[in-house]
Structure 1
Amino acid sequence: MGENFILILFLLCCSAFFCFSEGALFSLSRPQRESISKQGGRVSAAIGKLLSNSHKLITTVLLADEIFNIAYSSVIALTARKYLQDTPEQTVALISLAIASPTLLVFGEIVPKTAGVKFPRTISKAVALPLYSFHVAVTPIRWAILFVSGFFIRAFGADLGHRAQGNYISSDELEVLVGMGRDEGVLNEVEKYLADGFFRLEDLPAHGIMTPSIDCFTLPHDIEVKEAVGRVRQMGRSRIPVYEEEKDNIVGVLYGKDLLKWNFTEHNLAATVSECLRKPYFIPRSKPAGALLRELQMHRIHIAIVVDEYGRFDGLVTMEDILEELFGEIEDERSVPDRVAPAVRGGAITIPGGMKIEEFNDDYLFSVARSAGLENLGDILEEAVIPLRMENETMGGFVFDLFGRLPAEGEKIGFGGLVFTVKSREGKRISEIRVDVNKEARGDVH
């Protein structure tokens, strides 16, 4: 009978060993792995081989757990049967379960795994060689298990892919790690801001950062190189979309540096820019900025042409536009360095029609309401916040939508306690808007 107790203890220790190993090895950070690898020797080599394919390692650990856990429960049941010979089978089974389950859970799972997670480096070194020996010994069994499980996984349409290689971290997990790094002082506020910026890019569509087509400098494909050089020099652009027949039909991108390399003979000056165009990179409006950044880097290009669902030219996004979401404003050829921020005077402000709705809400709405000298600012602000709609991105577009037609200069319309006056237009586009607080009425004023 004493042999049974020794066997029970041995099986419990074996189960604990594999939980111990799993908790330690999978808790090793990348710097810890690199440090162990640099030390060399059999132990570091064993750890490296075990972690080189985490899917195989997990299979080994699960296989061992099943073997020893089942054996542990079986021996306890046999021992209980010997001690309780006159007891009904159902009672013996319940007693065996009451003994095996909590002892296995506490001493075979929770305690060893917690210890492994707490001291990963020390424990990983201690368990590496025996675990690797077992890992090699069960290779045929593991291969059979992986073959069968892989068949059913593929049958359900799943794919282990690169997740099985042990180095995959989902964006959600990475975001949690960044938050933990900030809370524990590993990341400072600047590093946290930059990391958060990368996460924001994944949710930011291309149309949210693009330069609208109406603001883009474009050239026709049949313009002569000589004239193109003069216009490019005048506008100060380095990459220009080129269209054929109509501006919605972009056929290429002209790089300023390609013009500099042009052979300026009399014959070549008469040639058109269509001879030195680069292939445009088209993207939909909904393209996530994070994915676009990776694609631009992969293809080694700096500009993407945004098209709508009908294939019309909607705008363009450059590498700089994306980087500005991470690092803030970058002065370049499209920037206006001497632009003066709109000033609020007497409850009124004049803003450009191209101002983003979000910018107006965040930076100017409160100032307009406060400068009007009204007391119930909370009520006014609640009513006057401009809604962020998919069809409107700028204040000019929002006011245009309020009118429901193309307004004339000087026309007014009210919204949520504000009065919008069309100060100027450029063609069919509202270029300048005066915003006042309507102190008398909240209805529309035409």
Structure 2
Amino acid sequence: MGISVLTAVAEASAYLYTVPIVGIELSKTGVTAIGILMILFLIVGSGFFSSSEIAMFSLGTHRIDPMVEQGLRGAKAIKSLKEDPHRLLVTILVGNNMVNITMSSISTTIVGFYFDPGTAVLVSSFGITSLVLIFGETAPKSYAVDNTELHARRVAPVLQFVEKLLWPLITLFHYVTQFVNKLTGGGPAIESSYLSRSEIREMIQTGEREGVLDEEERQMLQRTLRFNRTIAKEVMTPRLDMDAISADSSVEEAIAECVHSGHTRLPVYEGGLDNVIGVVNIRDLVRDAQYGGTDDVELQDLIEPTLHVPESKNVDDLLTEMRSERLHMVIVIDEFGTTEGLVTMEDLTEEIVGEILEGEEEHPIEFVNDDTVTVKGEVNIEEVNEALSIDLPEGEEFETIAGFIFNRAGRLVEEGESIEYEGIQIRVEQVENTRIMKARITRPEEGATLESEAEGGDDDHESDTNDA
């Protein structure tokens, strides 16, 4: 049907060169020359619209405002067009299709002067397709990819003019396509200018594979992405591991406690840990005790105020608040006001840069081999999942490996006990009192997993056979 229509067009157009135009009867050669010039002009138009699509939609929204602030030419036009990306896309597609269809019609007319209708259709189709593919698509789009920002600034004012020139047609298709999208359940993905977190993670992993990022850089970037989804409870030093000083202690006793614990700052409490009244710094203790020039220095005089924050507080907000208040330590409380633990500036820093180890301190995750690690009980499950590329679940009741083990066991566990989750073996290596201090985690080998699945399938088949 399509070829017969084009054939009819070719037959009818064969007589165009005898029709007077503005009082001048054009020859076949004259019509051909004009047609070739028009085709060249339309190929440029096709390249313009194709490259515009790549340039405008490859340019991230975060890069537009800086261009506007710098006063770069075309930046305001880009911002105006990108405010309605769906309409921008319709503008480009309408312009591109008008150019390509017109080009095809003109080429069919010209070729029809020299060939029979059927041959004219084939020659025109293959010829125009080749020209458009090379000069209207591939080359312009390649240029736009390499010069996204510059080309976007060049084409944006022209696209604004095209949008005004074809306003009725563009408006019609704009609303028609929106209606069709609603009927078909299409989403407004074109309007989501920013990258999602999953896309950024994939870019980071690709960067590591391509050698652009090393492993440490990748881990730091991934921790940064995870930072604003972390809460104080996940990074705090738990109550059981807290060292603290009674408000009734002397300065000398406080210094001894700081030295014994290995910390430069310790919380001070009255009556018990649920009533922390502040923090003392060993620097202040030593300075006033040894060089203060007085013998009646009391601990109460050296206590600095601190914050009490809920365990659900976002660490991104907490870091901002601690920097604003110039605090190095805050106390974490639960919904009942009971002290759950403490968070230091070092804890927050480690969430981004990784563990900062001192002296003989062990790394929280130690690789035994490629498939096995030993981890401290307080290590976050997400870190273990990332280290071993596994998928242990995280729940509201627990965030750590110790919490996961207790949740799966449903009771206190003893040293040497093992549990299994989807082929992942977890063995409790060290227990102190009721606390899990260390566990060994082994992920299943890929070959073993496939073999077990195959055996499971064979068993099911045998079972079905026996049942039959």
**TM-score of the two chains, using structure 2 as the length reference:** 0.49
**Counterpart in the other structure of 1:178:** 204
Q: Judge conservation of contact 1:17–1:112 (CA < 8 Å) in 2.
A: no
TM-align CA RMSD: 6.5
The one-letter code sitting in structure 2 at the alignment partner of 1:192 is: R
Give the whole-Å Cα distance in 2 for the aligned partners of 1:400 and 1:69: 60
Q: Measure, in 2, the Cα distance between the counterparts of 1:10 and 1:421.
A: 76
Shift of residue 137 of structure 1? 6.0
1:21 has 2:52 as partner: yes
Verify: 1:330 aligned to 2:356, yes or no: yes
Which letter does structure 2 place at the counterpart of 1:21?
S
Offset of residue 240 of structure 1: 2.0
CA distance in 2, matches of 1:78, 1:51: 33
Q: Is contact 1:420-1:433 (8 Å) kept?
A: yes
> Per-residue CA shift, 1:118-159, capped at 9, x if unaligned?
4336xx65x567535436768999xxx9xxx9xxxxxxxxxx
The 3-state SS of whatever aligns with 2:48 is helix
Equivalent residue in structure 2 for 1:280, among 295, 299, 307? 307
Which residue number in structure 1 is paired with residue 92 of structure 2? 65
The question of 1:241 aligning with 2:272 is answered no
Q: In structure 2, what is the equivalent of residue 46 of structure 1?
A: 73
Match of 1:317, SS?
strand
Preserved CA contact (<8 Å) 2:77 2:160: no
- Of 314, 336, 340, the residue aligned with 2:340 is 314
Which residue does 2:118 correspond to in 1? Answer: none
Match of 2:155? Answer: 131
Instruction: After TM superposition, give the deviation of residue 213 of structure 1 in Å.
Output: 0.7
CA distance in 2, matches of 1:387, 1:73: 54
What is the correspondence of 1:197-346 to structure 2 with a 5 Å cutoff? 197-199=223-225, 201=227, 206-221=232-247, 227-259=253-285, 264=292, 266=294, 269-270=297-298, 272-273=300-301, 276-280=303-307, 282-285=309-312, 287=314, 301-324=327-350, 329-332=355-358, 337=361
User: Residue 28 and residue 392 in structure 1: after superposition, are their counterparts in 2 closer, same or farther (change >3 A)?
Assistant: closer
Residue identity opposite 2:95 in structure 1? F
1:54 deviates by 7.5
Indicate conservation of the 8 Å contact 1:60/1:138, yes or no. no
Give the one of 195, 199, 221 matched to 2:221: 195
Give, as a single letter, the amino acid of the residue that structure 2 aligns with 1:316.
L
SS of corresponding position for 2:73: helix
CA–CA distance in 2 between the matches of 1:415 and 1:188?
A: 35
Equivalent runs, 1:356-371 vs 2, <5 Å: 356=378
Determine if contact 2:258/2:265 at 8 Å carries over to the other structure: no
Q: CA deviation at 1:202?
A: 5.6
Q: Match for residue 90 of structure 1?
A: none
The alpha-carbon deviation at position 173 of structure 1 amounts to 2.7
For residues 338 and 61 of structure 1, the distance between their equivalents in structure 2, rounded to whole angstroms, comes to 57
Structure 2 CA distance for aligned equivalents of residues 388 and 262 of structure 1 = 47
Q: Residue 232 of structure 2 contacts residue 343 of structure 2 at CA under 8 Å; is this kept in 1? A: yes
Instruction: Give the letter for the 1:173 counterpart.
Output: E
1:248-301 CA-partner distances (Å, limit 9, x unpaired) = 23343334445466594658613615x6423325242574x6675566566654
- CA drift at 1:238: 2.0
Identity over aligned pairs, percent: 23
Residues 42 and 103 in structure 2, CA contact (< 8 A), matched pair in contact too: no
In 1, distance between residues paired with 2:161 and 2:380? Answer: 63
**What amino acid maps onto 1:240 in structure 2?**
L
Rg larger in 1 or in 2? Answer: 2
The gaps in structure 1 that reach 5 residues or longer are: 83-97, 150-162, 343-350, 363-385, 436-446
**Further displaced range: 70-79 or 236-245:** 70-79
Call closer, same or farther: CA 1:214–1:269 in 2, change over 3 Å: same
- In 1, Cα distance between equivalents of 2:238 and 2:251: 26
